[in-house]
Amino acid sequence: MIVRLAFRLATSRSPEHRWRQLAVPLASSISVILVLFGSGLLAANRRQEERLLERTPILAEVPSDADVLLQPRADVVNGDQYLTIWLAAPLEGNPPVPPGLPRLPTPGEAFVSPRLAQVLAEDVDFARRYPLWTQIGSDGLVASDELIAYVGLPRDRVNERTHHIVAFGRPSGSQRGLVLGLSDLPRSSQMVTGVVIFAFLPGLILLYLGASANSVLRDHRFQVLTWLGAPRGTLVKVAVAEVLSLAAPGVALGLVTWLALAPKVGPMPFVWMDPLKGDLVLPWWVALLDSVAILAITSTLAAAGPLAIGRRPDLRPRPSLGRARLQDYRLYPLGIAALILLARPWVSEARADGLLVAAMVLMLVGVPLVAPLVVRQVGVHLAHIHTVPTLLAGSRLGWDPIRNARPHIAAATLVALTLTVLGYQKLTNAEIRSGHAPPVALVTVNINVATADEIGQLASELRPAVVAVFREDANRWIVGANCQEISRHIAGMGCDQNSPADFDSTGELRMSQALGLPSQLDLVLAPDLRLGTEWHEHTGSESATHEHAPSDLSQTSHFHDGLLVIDSTTSPADLEQSVGTLTTTALPGSSVLGVSRFRRYYPPSWSWTVAGLAMAAAVLTLGTILPIMDRLTSTRAQRRHLLKIGVTERRLRFLEALLFGIPFAAVIGVGVTAGITSCWLLVSQAHPPGPMPWASIVAVLMAATIPGTAASLAVALGIVGSSTSGQAE
């Protein structure tokens, strides 16, 4: 009978229960999708790691002619870095082949990822780099959006940095391998943290909101059972059976939806994760386990409700309300966040990003906790205004600020999240702008082997650009050009009046900035520097230069030579593109890096923050609707009481508008404060710090306040509100 009682309660046609009948299945459905999505991300990450491992080139212990020679390089197309893997076939034997390739590429031939193939098909200039290309199979890709090319390399175009490869696959035992990927995949622990915080947690919040959806009918049933002396176990059984009757269909719907969607999900821009289609698919038992876990959590959350009924003063046979207590712990998250922010100047740069994320998360957690405190203060002040509605509204807000703040907390958190995302976007855009639009069109070319003729040919094809050899060692950056040549292309760069080949006092700094060199590296001009030659700095009148043949580069491993190309007559992107196209065909094994290599590195936590904020924002949008509806359904009895004591409908509407609008404004204010603070913290991270996105902030504020204001007005005008016509059963 307990189950029957619960089932009939769950399926009651009473209007008092209708909201719960909608909220529980909806919340459980979305929650299970979120949890399955999170589990799917973990599965996708694991599959990506496995594919990355499976294409690992295994280094030869002893080089031989049977080895494949491999040279990984980073190149750039349209501002995006991509991985070029130059491969030279062995002189003898059957060569190992990377997964996804039918064979090794011959010189001049390329196997490219689908995303790169798309670029080749769309970009005529870029297509000149790889006139002969074939698409890599999906088993050779880590991610669907991956930019990677395996390119054939003539065996005579290798240098000492070329790797000897005996196989492709998972390294075993003492084998050593190379990781073939431009950016590291998130570590499993990072993935788990991200998924827990940004997929599982929002799912659970939503689940909690759904499972605790208000139902006067349900409260009454548990009240009666409690009066009759029903044991706790019975109350819990009824509660669990009732919520399961409602949640199970929702979970089933969510599960079916996920099973239908998961195989079709590919790249996800917010997560910056590009799984292949099918990567998110979970084994059936994991999906089932997740669904069962959601049902178990829903049951646990629901079971707590009836047990608390005995402690709820308003549900005793004769209510004896008490002023709600607000504990000090509500201030802890904001307090800790403030301490973290105060401590930031003394924290190392490596830890600063993590601490900033922690502070922002704490601030967001602090919003719902602090909001009731603010509502109580506002209520106390409102009660001092001498009109009946303000007295009643202010007193009620001061008496029970938690219940009055609750409907707006999700909206406030949403506002705070949105403003945080705005700040993050501002930071990212600032960084990307600074990366894409440098003041100087300048690229560097890493080369394996080149003759003076080939460099001369390149210089003539790139004219009027300056093409100079550069050398990088531990302390210096040496450029084989004179100041006058370079200064024609770098605005504001001055040369020494007495010795025009050298910088003046500002010249070195200006060029270092253009190259994005760290301040600890010295920049030296050496017009006589040649590729692969030893060079000693002039000291007084003495100088010594010993030339080697270019092919002797392999003997000089203590420094690294490349080409520097500067051209003020074209844009950085065009220069990058044209140099890349020329060198890919003319200097096999080379790679071109523009200023994009100086882009700031973002730890994975940042991408997860954006992903999580977007996810949480979407979830909390629903979370906003749930409690507002809850609030409206729970005020019917109060309306009846006030009408009975002679409060007019008009005053009642004004009172309800105050009870809706005032906490809304107060709680949203808390969210806005937290959000603007987060936004400011992020914007101040940019180098140089950018302006606050005030226009966007105002837009968010308007988007946030208009629905609340409209709702308050609608309540005041009697367009929406709690009906007093229905009677509790």
Partner 1 sequence: MAVLRVENLTLEIPGRRLLDNISFDLERGESIAIMGPSGAGKTSLINCVCGIVKPTSGRIWLVDSEVTLQTASKRAASRLANVGYVFQFGELLPEISVLENVALPLKLRGVPWDDAERRAAHQLETVGLANRGRDNPDVLSGGEVQRVAVSRAMVTEPALILADEPTGALDEENSSRVCDLIFSLATTFGAAVVVGTHNPEVASRAHRSVILRDGRIDARARIGLPS
Number of residues that bind partner 1 (CB under 8 A): 29
CB closer to partner 1, 6 vs 620? 6
Kindly state the smallest distance separating residue 631's Cβ from partner 1, in Å.
26
Decide if residue 597 touches partner 1 (CB under 8 A): no
The answer to whether the CB of 113 falls within 8 A of the CB of 141 is yes
CB atoms within 10 A of CB 172: 9
Kindly state the smallest distance separating residue 245's Cβ from partner 1, in Å.
12
Q: 495-533 in b/e burial notation, b at 16+ Cβ within 10 A?
A: beeeeeebbbeebbebbbbbbebeeeeebbbbeebbbbb
Decide if residue 231 touches partner 1 (CB under 8 A): yes
Decide if residue 641 touches partner 1 (CB under 8 A): no
Identify the residue among 310, 516, 603, 669 touching partner 1 (CB under 8 A): 310
Dist CA 413 CA 190 (whole Å):
24
Tokens of residue 347, six digits = 């924290």
Subset of residues 19 to 48 that bind partner 1, contact rule: CB under 8 A? none
Kindly state the smallest distance separating residue 325's Cβ from partner 1, in Å.
11
Decide if residue 352 touches partner 1 (CB under 8 A): no
Mark out the alpha helices in 95-200 (DSSP H runs). Answer: 114-122, 124-127, 188-195
Kindly state the smallest distance separating residue 248's Cβ from partner 1, in Å.
19
Decide if residue 376 touches partner 1 (CB under 8 A): no
Decide if residue 228 touches partner 1 (CB under 8 A): yes
CB closer to partner 1, 703 vs 728? 728
Identify the residue among 155, 264, 323, 538 touching partner 1 (CB under 8 A): 323
Kindly state the smallest distance separating residue 646's Cβ from partner 1, in Å.
19
Decide if residue 12 touches partner 1 (CB under 8 A): yes
Kindly state the smallest distance separating residue 237's Cβ from partner 1, in Å.
11
Residues in contact with partner 1, shown as a per-residue x/- string from 264 to 303 under the rule CB under 8 A: ----------------------------------------
The answer to whether the CB of 472 falls within 8 A of the CB of 562 is yes
Residue indicated by tokens 């999240």: 417
Q: Using omega within 30 degrees of 0 as the cis cutoff, is the peptide bond preceding 171 cis? A: no
Decide if residue 1 touches partner 1 (CB under 8 A): yes
The answer to whether the CB of 41 falls within 8 A of the CB of 190 is no
Decide if residue 386 touches partner 1 (CB under 8 A): no
Decide if residue 518 touches partner 1 (CB under 8 A): no
Decide if residue 728 touches partner 1 (CB under 8 A): no
Kindly state the smallest distance separating residue 641's Cβ from partner 1, in Å.
16
The answer to whether the CB of 144 falls within 8 A of the CB of 277 is yes
> CA–CA distance from 42 to each of 195, 286, 617, 662 (Å)?
8, 12, 21, 43
Subset of residues 195 to 224 that bind partner 1, contact rule: CB under 8 A? 220-221, 223-224
The interface region with partner 1, picked from 24-32, 53-61, 259-267, 314-322 by CB under 8 A, is 314-322
Subset of residues 128 to 187 that bind partner 1, contact rule: CB under 8 A? none
Decide if residue 599 touches partner 1 (CB under 8 A): no
Decide if residue 244 touches partner 1 (CB under 8 A): no
Identify the residue among 189, 284, 318, 520 touching partner 1 (CB under 8 A): 318
8-state DSSP, 281: -
Identify the residue among 214, 226, 584, 722 touching partner 1 (CB under 8 A): 226
Angle at which helix 15-54 crosses helix 232-261, to 10 degrees, equals 50
Decide if residue 234 touches partner 1 (CB under 8 A): yes
The answer to whether the CB of 128 falls within 8 A of the CB of 585 is yes
Tokens of residue 231, six digits = 């044991």
Dist CA 621 CA 615 (whole Å):
10
Contacts of residue 373, defined as CB under 8 A and 6 or more positions apart, other chains included, come to 326, 330, 331, 401
8-state DSSP, 647: -
SS (H, E, C) 512-552: HHHHCCCCCCEEEECCCCCCCCEECCCECCECCEECCCHHH
The interface region with partner 1, picked from 7-15, 271-279, 457-465, 645-653 by CB under 8 A, is 7-15
Kindly state the smallest distance separating residue 655's Cβ from partner 1, in Å.
24
Identify the residue among 5, 119, 509, 629 touching partner 1 (CB under 8 A): 5
Kindly state the smallest distance separating residue 347's Cβ from partner 1, in Å.
47
Decide if residue 245 touches partner 1 (CB under 8 A): no
Kindly state the smallest distance separating residue 375's Cβ from partner 1, in Å.
21
Quick one: how many helices (H) and strands (E) in the chain? 21, 15
Sheet holding 80-88, edge to edge: 57-59, 163-168, 68-77, 80-88, 148-152, 109-112, 132-135
The answer to whether the CB of 522 falls within 8 A of the CB of 476 is yes
CB atoms within 10 A of CB 346: 6
What's CA 157's distance to the chain center, in Å?
40
Tokens of residue 461, six digits = 């094809």
Identify the residue among 50, 184, 227, 342 touching partner 1 (CB under 8 A): 227
Decide if residue 4 touches partner 1 (CB under 8 A): yes
Decide if residue 540 touches partner 1 (CB under 8 A): no
The interface region with partner 1, picked from 309-317, 520-528, 586-594, 666-674 by CB under 8 A, is 309-317
Q: Enumerate binding residues for partner 1 (CB under 8 A).
A: 1-2, 4-5, 8-9, 12, 220-221, 223-232, 234, 310-311, 316-318, 320, 322-323, 729
